[in-house]
Amino acid sequence: MSQPSPPDKTAARAAIRVEGIVKRYPKLTALDGVSLEIREGEFFGLLGPNGAGKTTLISILAGLGRATAGSAQVMGFDVVSQFREARRALGVVPQELVFDPFFTVRETLRFQSGYFGLKDNGTWIDEILQGLGLADKADTNMRALSGGMKRRVMVAQALVHKPPVIVLDEPTAGVDVELRQTLWRFIRQLHGSGRTIVLTTHYLEEAEELCSRIAMLKSGRVVALDSTANLLKRFTGLQVMLRLNQALPDALRSRLTSGDGSAGSRLRLRVASYDEAAQLLADLRAAGLHLEEAEIQRADLEDVFLQVMAEPQDAFKVAA
């Protein structure tokens, strides 16, 4: 059996390269010509609303789905023609909690090691268990774990074969603060050792803090792709956080970025400058509305995300 050809030097500069990926179903186009490159060692964010195509793209990278058109590589290996090599280079933490209820945590990780042909992997398994706060649960049956502990095991399974590229698909959805802190502390260590991290999350404050570059998907297309810093610079406005004793006047509802405008609800309105924010507050007082709470903030990634998603499909230039 012939050995797969090694990745060329150009391809090796990219941990993940996706070119013109299309995924069609009979009544839906989930991905519509997605192209992007994630560099080795990046902490990269893949963001988008539900149904944007994020999980579909991850499934194609992991070999769990086949693209209708286009190509994808992981560490220079084609995910179709060099599936085995591409899959070994990738660790995926899925959204769903999938586990075998008949094994302990340690047994689960040993079996996962076996899937990749790894023997004598106990030292690394112990390191993962310690890093994810699972050491005292190593001999506990999987079905006896809480949801948060099961989530930690899903992360451990993705790391057991020491992949250079790690994809985290909503890893902190529905978990407590302690797990988030433990997970991100360990993931930061892995990133510091040179691993490439790809994160999808609805917690945009996590993406803003962790990711150096971000792609935003909408309806199966990349609608924004740039460094986190550049995305924030492109949206230099301010946000006024309010809580009012009455409903927001209709004339101001077009500025709402979150909240429904009802009395007593927490509202977020976008303004261009501090002078405009001061005028907004003055107008509300003049209208007889009482401010129960008011705070002015610079635009964050959540505000950028909401603005991008609200604009027409091709309104934003996609950077390299």
pLDDT in tens, 103-132: 999 999 998 998 888 888 889 999 999 989
CA gyration radius for the chain? 23
CA 69 to chain centre: 24
**Going by C-beta distance under 8 Å and a sequence separation of 6 or more, which residues neighbour residue 28?**
none
Confidence of residue 72 (pLDDT cuts 50, 70, 90): very high
CA distance 265 to 254: 16
pLDDT in tens, 257-316: 666 667 767 787 878 788 888 888 888 888 788 888 888 877 788 888 888 887 765 554
Joined together, the tokens standing for residue 199 give 């994160």
Alpha-carbon distance of 60 to 141, in angstroms, equals 32
**Taking the domain 10-231, which CATH number applies?**
3.40.50.300
Measured in whole angstroms, how far is the alpha carbon of residue 42 from the centre of its chain? 13
Residue 211 banded pLDDT, cuts 50, 70, 90: very high
pLDDT 10s digits, 153-170? 999 999 999 999 999 998
Question: For residue 235, which of 314, 310, 295 has the smallest C-alpha distance?
Answer: 310
Handedness of CA 294, 297, 299, 305 (dihedral sign): negative
pTM of the model: 0.79
Name the nearest CA neighbour of 151 among 130, 135, 138, 132.
132
